[in-house]
Structure 1
Amino acid sequence: MNTKQIALAVPFAAALLAVTATTPAVARTAPWNSDWHSAWAASPQAPTHTPWYANWSEQGFADQSVRQVVRVTAEGSEVRIRLSNAYGKTPLRLTGATVARSAGGAAVRQDTVRALRFRGAGGVTVPAGGELSSDPVALPVRAFEELTVTFFFQGPTGPATFHNVAMATSYRAAGDHRRDAAADAFTDQSRSWYYLAGVDVKNRDRGGDRGAVVTFGDSLTDGFGSTPGANGRYPDRLAERLAANGTARPVLNAGIGGNKVLTDSECFGESALSRFRRDALGRPDVRTVIVLEGTNDIVQPDVPADHCTAGSPRVSAEQIIAGHLRLIREAHARGVRIVGATIPPYRGFPAWNKPADDVRIAVNTWIRTGGAYDGVADFDRVLADGADPAGDSIKDEYVLEMDHLHLKDAGYKAMADAVDLNSL
């Protein structure tokens, strides 16, 4: 893309926005008035294998317990969990489940173990393609506390709906160990989450109806490269900032590593356009979404094709911008505020090239100046190396040397610090 083409990206986007301006930009929804808050979430993915990130999704489970640790970002007196069989081809039979406070690793605090029930029953069948919540259980939890959810599957599940890049450890044991406090039986480990889509808490204080913030994106939202188990992803750090500022709100992570705006992937989930309503707008308490998408639309056409990156057509800035505009319209139609995040630089990544980076620059120019988003989180500027005259690489203290694309903990903290809390 040459300079003239870059300059055309912003007016092109403005024209698209004008075409859709015949309907109101924001149709406000009724105030959210439930005592239930989304406290944690993960975006479901279809079962798949990736050679660099082994998981249990394709084989599923049979006569096994799966123990998963998550950190909630809201407090409450009761808790419930959400199960997803979004990509199951057959009904999922869960024999039983428990929730407890974590005692580190696969261990839990014995006095906090609570059996989960589903419409009064200890087990439940989740239809293929379905999602459901457990009954509430009395278990007081604090914001930033780690909870452990243990599922027991007696019969074979078949391939499992899961979330690939958890940046946390899940555990597996043979047989029924859902009530075990000790970690001894949980000898197998995975860096993915399985069937667990969310944790909700009950709290009558709704924080002035501020509602939840959903961070929607790819591996930079998922937190790839952060320290596993340390909750160092940018959404985690953003939740901590909000709490320290006295404006605590749940922050939900709807990132999927490798995700693209425009096209689906066997490994990297449905496109942003396909999954936005479910993953970003699907919770009743969402009030703000931060969108960081576009890196993989730009990068993947230039990497060696495999079953994960196949079907990644080369795209223009105008096409990516048009995709962002669709997300904005959908958010505004639901009365949800939407903040656009600029795409960070990636020079040093093996597939980097000038024409592709020009697309990134054009998209970022539109995000900053196009006026379509309700606010801007300028991750590009905060992460860019100021000593690099071109500004197309990330600072050494922030970037992973292995690929010059993903970040260390310090980089994710810098992203969280770059978000204007007033924009939320």
Structure 2
Amino acid sequence: MWTAVWGTSPQRAGASFAPNWSEAGFSNQTVRQVVRVSAGGVATRVRLSNQYGSTPLKVAGATIARTTSGAAVQPSSLRQLTVRHARSFTIPVGREVATDLVPMRLAALESVTITLYLASPTGPATYHPLALATSYRATGDHRSDVGGAPFTETSSSWYYVSGLDVVGQAKRSTGVVAFGDSITDGAGGTADNRYPDQLAERLASAGRPRAVVNQGISGNRVTVDSAWFGDKAVSRFQRDVLDQPGVGTVIILAGINDLGISEVAANPPFPIFAPFTKVSAKQIIAGQRQLVARARADGLRVIGATLLPIKGSSYYTAASEAKRDAVNHWIRTSAEYDAVVDLDRVMASPTDADQLRPTYDSGDHLHPSDAGYDAMANAIDLNDLG
């Protein structure tokens, strides 16, 4: 059976927090992207998404190879990617396609490079802004180049790639999806140090390698759609969790943007956070309840994570803190989750329980540092993963 061992949540084209290539799209260009798998297998396939494209996406050619450094790849590992045995293929608007099986054995925590040659104008590109990885671009067709010299442009986002699956990882559904917002996405941290990355490393170190897929979107909310920060969690849960192959467990860490953006409407730190919809603790809880029910109906084990401290951040007010406390109390005491990881208490300062521990704070009092993400990963009881 197929198991997702890497993934990222597709989003609409936009400027987001940093310049990127999504709005202009691509034309007679090759884009090369590096991803690290959480677990290995004996063969692989790549999933590509045109979820938010305005026209069918014509892929003139694509390859996969083992990463060496930068945009360079291991020559002997280069393989052509095909769909229905064709090297060029089209992805309809609003759809995702999986390539044919590639007989490439991958190990846990190995990096691979996916290269797409886009000959025709693509229009705005479906992408994921916060890759915390470098993507590369070259003019012309360089899908089969093994060196990185032609790839003179770089970006910190991923384009069109939405998943990488393997066969031979497990005989049953044991994969884990980490579902949430920027704290799952890894904002404030560095490449391959998000908490899902570090959880995968911990599992591999324990001799229990297991698929862990990151489906966080920075700025995402449980209850409110955003042009910039993705469809609300209750809408995208089907695509980003339930439709992922080989998943058996989901960790839900969501709601901080609902309550925080509710409180910064009068003086928003980022106008792109609009709409500034007021959301109550009851609405966040109702949204989480819906996610739990849908996961359970699909046979998944569901782990709830309490919301981290936010004192000192732009989100912090007396009202937002009261909402955070109410949501966390429900997560801890409702018994609706199969297990709870109490990240609020794990991440709190010993001198102020409403604030992040200084060594865990990236500096904005909202997002963890690499040390904080490591603490989050270590707080998860591996036995709770099922």
TM-score class normalised by the smaller sequence: over 0.9
State yes or no: 1:165 paired with 2:127.
no
State yes or no: 1:100 paired with 2:62.
no
Equivalent residue in structure 2 for 1:45, among 8, 11, 18: 11
Give CA deviations for 1:81-114 in whole Å, capped at 9, x if unaligned. 0010011121100000000000111111111111
Aligned to 2:76: 111
Aligned equivalents of 2:108 and 2:313: distance in 1? 37
The letter of the residue matching 1:276 is: F
1:78, distance to aligned residue in structure 2 (A): 1.5
State yes or no: 1:320 paired with 2:284.
yes
1:53, distance to aligned residue in structure 2 (A): 1.6
Is the partner of 2:58 in helix, strand or coil? strand
TM alignment of 1:103-142, pairs within 5 A: 103-142=68-107
Give CA deviations for 1:318-360 in whole Å, capped at 9, x if unaligned. 1110111000110011011111000001111134111111100
Aligned equivalents of 1:358 and 1:286: distance in 2? 34
State yes or no: 1:356 paired with 2:356.
no
State yes or no: 1:218 paired with 2:184.
no
The letter of the residue matching 1:420 is: D
State yes or no: 1:395 paired with 2:361.
no
How many residues are treated as equivalent by the alignment? Answer: 382
Aligned equivalents of 1:105 and 1:234: distance in 2? 24
Aligned equivalents of 2:92 and 2:122: distance in 1? 12
State yes or no: 1:179 paired with 2:144.
yes
TM alignment of 1:130-279, pairs within 5 A: 130-203=95-168, 206=170, 209-227=172-190, 229=191, 231-279=192-240
* Structure whose CA Rg is larger: 1
1:308, distance to aligned residue in structure 2 (A): 2.2
Aligned equivalents of 1:247 and 1:99: distance in 2? 26
1:75, distance to aligned residue in structure 2 (A): 1.2
1:210, distance to aligned residue in structure 2 (A): 4.9
The letter of the residue matching 2:9 is: S
Equivalent residue in structure 1 for 2:345, among 354, 360, 381: 381
Over the matched positions of the two proteins, sequence identity in percent amounts to 49
Root-mean-square deviation (CA, aligned residues, Å) is: 1.2
Instruction: Give me the TM-score of the superposition, normalised by structure 2.
Output: 0.97
Q: State whether residues 118 and 134 of structure 1, in contact with CA within 8 Å, keep that contact through their aligned partners in structure 2.
A: yes
Aligned to 2:29: 64
Give CA deviations for 1:124-151 in whole Å, capped at 9, x if unaligned. 0000001111111122211100000000
Aligned to 1:28: none
Is the partner of 1:214 in helix, strand or coil? strand
Give CA deviations for 1:191-236 in whole Å, capped at 9, x if unaligned. 1100001111121x51x62521000000000011112x3x000001
Give CA deviations for 1:269-301 in whole Å, capped at 9, x if unaligned. 000010001101112311000000001001112
Is the partner of 2:162 in helix, strand or coil? strand
Q: State whether residues 258 and 268 of structure 1, in contact with CA within 8 Å, keep that contact through their aligned partners in structure 2.
A: yes
1:265, distance to aligned residue in structure 2 (A): 0.7
Aligned to 1:30: none
Aligned equivalents of 1:139 and 1:395: distance in 2? 43
1:175, distance to aligned residue in structure 2 (A): 0.7
Q: State whether residues 400 and 406 of structure 1, in contact with CA within 8 Å, keep that contact through their aligned partners in structure 2.
A: yes
Instruction: Give me the TM-score of the superposition, normalised by structure 1.
Output: 0.88
Is the partner of 2:47 in helix, strand or coil? strand
State yes or no: 1:418 paired with 2:379.
yes
Equivalent residue in structure 1 for 2:246, among 276, 285, 290: 285
TM alignment of 1:18-29, pairs within 5 A: none
Q: Which moved more, 1:240-249 or 1:87-96?
A: 240-249
Q: State whether residues 184 and 217 of structure 2, in contact with CA within 8 Å, keep that contact through their aligned partners in structure 1.
A: yes
Where do 4+ consecutive residues of structure 1 move more than 4 Å?
A: none
Aligned equivalents of 2:315 and 2:300: distance in 1? 36
Q: State whether residues 235 and 251 of structure 1, in contact with CA within 8 Å, keep that contact through their aligned partners in structure 2.
A: yes
Is the partner of 1:362 in helix, strand or coil? helix
1:307, distance to aligned residue in structure 2 (A): 5.2
Aligned to 1:31: none
Aligned equivalents of 1:318 and 1:301: distance in 2? 13
Q: Gapped runs of 5+ residues in structure 2?
A: none
The letter of the residue matching 1:113 is: L
Equivalent residue in structure 2 for 1:342, among 306, 310, 314: 306
The letter of the residue matching 2:94 is: G
Is the partner of 1:139 in helix, strand or coil? coil
